[in-house]
């Protein structure tokens, strides 16, 4: 069995112990030590790290086995590991944040099934590599979520569709609604801190930068300067007060990154201090308006709670009330809610094509029976059909209107004998509808291919 040494900067942290492959030995052995640096490997006699999962500014995470559980349960062991040369004040701050994560997870994890449970928190003093000194390490043991974080998922599959982003938004907003109700602000929401378990369930991870605001006046929580660049709003980057809307800003940045598949540096215009994500992707006006409001520079102009965002995303609700936009966040006019039309879905496009083809066939039958001139019939049919297509693009007729108009016009041609011949009315309208669907699909495919190439 391979056991991973958790001592920082150990030159050869992988240790292989064949005797630990025997379950009986694994459960009873007292301790194992790193063959390179002598670090105790079985943490507090219970947890065996098997590989490193990642390293960050203030910690390293390891996949581990818990030998005190019947199935040798997988868990995550997080070690307090500040990087760089920190001052005593910065070191104390980082340690406080790590301990705060334990407090938050104990309070939150057991009450919300989308936040990992905290299993243990312990300090571990060990002999230093320097004789006569002792090193002190701190560990958290957390529930292991077997899956991929959204940063990994984005790299693997490419940008997310609008329904996929809406799912992420709604799930994380529900978690934030719970977290904020406990007086806690996460302060480090980003794709790598959102995990999708193999069964599809979404979790919010890494509460190492949480800020308690319980028992503090509203707005009295201040930022410590620990955040992820690009995801933090202005008030957090300036080291000022943080709010629930601080998390909503970071969540909106996360959503924009998933939608576009672009790094944050490509989505924010530093020179003009503007988000320019809308030109990168086409989404429904409602989602665009919600994200733009979450991304406003002024904290008091954003949504003030996760529930407000959930309500705004609900398509049954009325349009989002207009919000005064600061000069630093101008909104493109063509995408404003209420000034643009809902984009057509694929079903609507193909349904409209079928309707247009079917009606074109019926119109041709009727006019040819009345006018007896193929040329005049073709011109008149094209004019009427153009009017019908224009009405669809303006949404003057849509959905059930198409079915009703088709049924009425078919009934007229069917029951007025001089408007048809038997062969024409049984074949032409349906053939025209199928041809229209085929041509529409072909042109749409060509358009998609050209869009990708150009």
Q: What long-range pairs does 121-124 form, CB within 8 A, spacing at least 24?
A: 122/43, 122/44, 124/40, 124/43, 124/44
Radius of gyration of the chain (CA): 31
Task: Tell me if residue 22 is catalytic.
Answer: no
Name residues whose C-beta falls within 8 Å of residue 2's C-beta, 6 or more positions apart in sequence. Answer: 14, 15, 16, 17, 50, 51
Query: Catalytic residue among 66, 188, 206, 292, which?
Result: 188
d(CA 233, CA 250): 7
Kindly list the catalytic residues: 188
């Amino acid at each position: 069995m391979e056991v991973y040494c958790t001592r920082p900067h150990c030159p050869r942290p992988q240790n292989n112990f064949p005797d630990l492959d025997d379950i009986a030995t694994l459960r009873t052995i007292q301790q194992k030590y790193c063959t390179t640096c002598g670090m105790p490997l079985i943490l507090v006699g219970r947890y065996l790290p098997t590989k490193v999962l990642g390293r960050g500014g203030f910690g390293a995470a390891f996949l581990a086995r818990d030998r005190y559980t019947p199935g040798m349960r997988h868990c995550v062991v997080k070690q307090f590991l500040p990087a760089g040369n920190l001052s005593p004040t910065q070191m104390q701050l980082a340690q406080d944040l790590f301990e705060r994560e334990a407090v938050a997870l104990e309070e939150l994890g057991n009450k919300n099934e989308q936040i990992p449970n905290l299993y243990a928190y312990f300090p571990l003093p060990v002999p230093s590599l320097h004789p006569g000194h002792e090193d002190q390490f701190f560990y958290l043991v957390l529930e292991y979520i077997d899956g991929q974080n959204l940063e990994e998922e984005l790299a693997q599959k490419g940008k997310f569709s609008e329904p996929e982003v809406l799912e992420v938004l709604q799930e994380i907003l529900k978690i934030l609604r719970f977290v904020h109700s406990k007086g806690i602000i996460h302060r480090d929401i980003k794709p790598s801190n959102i995990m999708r378990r193999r069964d599809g369930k979404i979790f919010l991870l890494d509460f190492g930068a949480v800020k308690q605001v319980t028992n503090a006046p509203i707005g009295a929580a201040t930022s410590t300067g620990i955040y992820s660049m690009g995801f933090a709003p202005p008030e957090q980057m300036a080291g000022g007060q943080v709010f629930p809307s601080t998390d909503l800003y970071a969540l909106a940045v996360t959503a924009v990154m998933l939608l576009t598949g672009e790094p944050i540096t490509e989505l924010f215009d530093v020179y003009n201090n503007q988000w320019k994500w809308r030109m990168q992707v086409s989404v429904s006006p409602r989602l665009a308006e919600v994200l733009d409001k979450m991304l406003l520079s002024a904290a008091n102009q954003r949504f003030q709670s996760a529930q407000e965002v959930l309500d705004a995303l609900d398509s049954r609700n009325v349009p989002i009330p207009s919000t005064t936009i600061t000069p630093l966040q101008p909104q493109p006019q063509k995408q404003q809610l209420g000034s643009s039309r809902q984009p057509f879905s694929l079903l609507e496009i193909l349904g409209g094509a079928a309707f247009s083809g079917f009606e074109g066939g019926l119109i041709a039958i009727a006019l040819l029976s009345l006018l007896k001139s193929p040329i005049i019939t073709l011109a008149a049919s094209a004019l009427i059909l153009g009017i019908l297509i224009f009405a669809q693009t303006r949404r003057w007729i849509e959905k059930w209107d198409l079915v009703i108009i088709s049924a009425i016009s078919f009934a007229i041609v069917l029951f007025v004998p001089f408007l048809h011949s038997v062969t024409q009315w049984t074949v032409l309208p349906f053939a025209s509808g199928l041809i229209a669907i085929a041509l529409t699909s072909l042109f749409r495919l060509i358009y998609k291919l050209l869009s990708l190439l150009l």
